[in-house]
């Protein structure tokens, strides 16, 4: 069943829009044809001269008209359609934020004819009423969920409709080609008019740019994901070198178990953190060593998988212990581009030095001494880590990046495949009806990025992640 099945999307809705809990101010919202009438039933202005009108805040009380009991002193503002978030009549009520206050006011609004809003229903209505497109509705959630300033900037672009601006010209080009294709299909038999030269000329003129633009949008996806979810730092190395201690220091609490017994961590463990305002996912892994223990073996397989996916690898060694052959082997095979060698436990008498490690590496890579225990040299290590990210999304100019998400990416891929088929079809002399089908498929996929044309499942999937009240 889809999220909004059976719900009357024209009925007036109400919801608490701020987190329910103790706080300075809590906000309730109403939207729909009866929003203003319901407000008038439960709100009485403090001054008898005050009147509720568009975008004017009025001080007064929320009062249960049945009992005359005042529930809270509030500010109320009416907003008149179509100049509102949903394009419907709306009300916002600002009360004191406490669970009981908020819930009693909500109950009162429901008792007077509103129904409880579904998740994201205010935004859904903004979309259904044509104020925003679907990619902008997704942008609302991206703004709320942004974990960093870069993610917020990207989300704001999405909210402002950048995706639509990127995709619309592509749809228009396809539309133009389709018009001539269809004319050919419709008229050529009856009238002898032949539009084939026209549409094929339009195709060869526009197809390279069209396909290139779609590919370019798709290319930005990996960077967008990185900005959204943060960079993945995977801590890897032999047992007992202090990998879990490093994770704990990164996140500032004892998340991973640390003991002096080698093989403590058996599986990987992931935690999010900000390093100088940049979001990271730090992954602690099971130690790598030759072993017969089946659990440790599985753990090591997972560690290596994580290492492959990583944006950055911290290869950790114990600075107070000489290298063994296995460790030296790891160093010789290291992927230097994304690795930082960390000599941990530098608070102890040192046996390993960066100078001894460097010649073993297949190419130059940073080697840094730290102590997860005392925090010595920690800043030097994090700066090196950030330096490793040079030329990634972090430092590159992302102002031209179009904020693509997984759903957009899949639709772009579908469009690109269909256009590839069409291009091939023309060369093979495929019948025009099939060529037109491919063009239509590409066009529909591009259109679905900004509009789901009433597809309940797609809308459900998007709005399911929203909170009630947004
Ligand atoms: N002196 C000193 N001891 C450390 C440091 N970092 C970790 N240790 C100690 O080294 C031991 C192993 O630390 P862990 O963080 O569990 O090491 P690990 O690499 O996660 O070990 P496994 O999970 O077994 O692979 C513990 O006794 C820690 O207290 C450090 O910087 N200095
Ligand atoms: Mg560990």
pLDDT > 90? residue 322: yes
pLDDT > 60? residue 393: no
Q: What pLDDT is attached to residue 206?
A: 95
pLDDT > 70? residue 397: no
pLDDT tens digit string along 330-354? 999 999 989 999 999 999 999 999 9
Q: Where in the chain do CATH 1.20.120.430 domains reside?
A: 162-226+400-444
Helix (H, G, I), strand (E, B) or coil at 58: strand
CA distance 310 to 330: 16
The protein residue with its alpha carbon nearest to ligand 1, atom 10, reads 242
Average pLDDT over residues 73-92: 98
Average pLDDT over residues 57-74: 97
- Quick one: pLDDT band at residue 462, thresholds 50, 70, 90? confident
pLDDT > 90? residue 163: yes
Atom of ligand 1 nearest to the CA of 376: 31
Task: Give distance in angstroms: CA of 430 to centre of ligand 2.
Answer: 60
Question: What residues does 313 pair with on adjacent strands?
Answer: 234, 339
Query: How wide is the angle at C-alpha 153 spanned by C-alphas 149 and 159, nearest 5°?
Result: 135
Q: What pLDDT is attached to residue 185?
A: 85
Answer CATH for 13-133 from 3.30.1330.20, 1.10.10.60, 3.40.190.10, 3.30.1360.120? 3.30.1360.120
Q: What pLDDT is attached to residue 147?
A: 82
Task: Give distance in angstroms: CA of 334 to centre of ligand 2.
Answer: 21
For the domain made up of 162-226+400-444, the CATH class stated in words is mainly alpha
Give me the percent of the chain exceeding a pLDDT of 70.
97
Q: Which residues contact 41 (CB under 8 A, 6 or more apart)?
A: 65, 112
* Angle of helix 134-145 versus helix 456-463 axis, rounded to 10: 20
Q: Where in the chain do CATH 3.30.1360.120 domains reside?
A: 13-133
pLDDT > 60? residue 358: yes
Average pLDDT over residues 146-161: 90
Q: What pLDDT is attached to residue 394?
A: 55
Q: Where in the chain do CATH 3.40.50.300 domains reside?
A: 233-388
Tell me which residues have their CB closer than 6 angstroms to ligand 1. Answer: 239-245, 258-260, 262-265, 287, 344-345, 347-348, 371-373
Specify the CATH superfamily of domain 233-388. Answer: P-loop containing nucleotide triphosphate hydrolases (3.40.50.300)
pTM of structure: 0.77
Task: Give distance in angstroms: CA of 253 to centre of ligand 2.
Answer: 14
- Quick one: pLDDT band at residue 6, thresholds 50, 70, 90? confident
pLDDT > 70? residue 396: no
Helix (H) or strand (E) holding 346: none
Q: What pLDDT is attached to residue 392?
A: 60
Q: What pLDDT is attached to residue 198?
A: 85
pLDDT tens digit string along 207-247? 999 999 999 999 999 888 888 888 899 999 999 999 999 99
Please answer whether residues 341 and 355 qualify as being in contact, where contact means their C-beta atoms are separated by less than 8 angstroms.
Answer: no
Task: Give distance in angstroms: CA of 258 to centre of ligand 2.
Answer: 6
């Amino acid at each position: 069943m889809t999220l909004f099945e059976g719900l009357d999307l024209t009925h007036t809705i109400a919801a608490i829009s701020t987190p329910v809990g103790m706080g300075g101010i809590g906000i309730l919202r109403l939207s729909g044809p009866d929003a203003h009438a319901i407000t008038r039933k439960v709100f009485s202005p403090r001054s008898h001269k005050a009147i509720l009108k568009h975008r004017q805040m009025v001080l007064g009380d929320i009062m249960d008209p049945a009992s005359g009991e005042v529930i809270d002193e509030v500010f109320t503002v009416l907003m008149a359609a179509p100049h509102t978030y949903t394009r419907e009549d709306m009300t916002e009520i600002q009360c004191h934020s406490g669970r009981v206050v908020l819930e009693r006011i909500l109950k009162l609004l429901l008792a007077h004819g509103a129904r409880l809003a579904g998740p994201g229903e205010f935004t859904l209505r903004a979309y259904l009423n044509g104020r925003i497109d679907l990619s902008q509705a997704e942008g609302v959630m991206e703004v709320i969920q942004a974990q960093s300033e870069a993610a917020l900037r990207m989300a704001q672009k999405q909210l402002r409709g950048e995706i639509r601006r990127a995709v619309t010209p592509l749809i228009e080009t396809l539309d133009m080609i389709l018009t001539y294709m269809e004319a050919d299909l419709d008229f050529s038999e009856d009238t002898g008019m032949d539009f084939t030269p026209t549409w094929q000329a339009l195709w060869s003129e526009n197809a390279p740019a069209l396909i290139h633009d779609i590919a370019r949008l798709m290319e930005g996806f990996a960077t967008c994901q990185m900005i959204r979810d943060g960079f993945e730092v995977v801590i890897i190395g032999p047992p007992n070198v202090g990998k879990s201690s490093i994770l704990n220091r990164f996140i500032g609490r004892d998340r991973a178990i640390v003991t002096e017994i080698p093989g403590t961590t058996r599986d990987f463990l992931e935690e999010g953190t900000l390093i100088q305002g940049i979001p990271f996912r730090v992954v602690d892994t099971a130690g790598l060593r030759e072993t017969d223990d089946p659990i440790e073996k599985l753990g090591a397989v997972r560690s290596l998988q994580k290492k492959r996916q990583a944006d950055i690898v911290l290869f950790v060694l114990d600075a107070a212990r000489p290298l063994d052959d296995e460790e030296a082997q790891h160093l010789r095979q290291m992927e230097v581009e994304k690795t930082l060698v960390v000599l941990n436990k530098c608070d102890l008498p040192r046996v390993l030095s960066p100078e001894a490690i460097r010649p073993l590496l297949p190419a130059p890579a940073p080697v840094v001494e730290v102590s997860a225990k005392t925090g010595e040299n920690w800043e030097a290590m994090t700066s090196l880590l950030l330096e490793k990210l040079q030329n990634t999304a972090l430092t590159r100019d992302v102002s031209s990046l179009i904020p693509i998400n997984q759903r957009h990416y899949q639709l772009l891929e579908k469009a690109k495949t269909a256009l590839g088929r069409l291009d091939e079809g023309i060369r093979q002399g495929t019948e025009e009806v099939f060529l037109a089908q491919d063009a239509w498929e590409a066009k529909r996929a591009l259109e679905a990025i900004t509009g789901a044309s009433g597809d309940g499942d797609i809308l459900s999937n998007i709005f399911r992640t929203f909170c009630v009240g947004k």
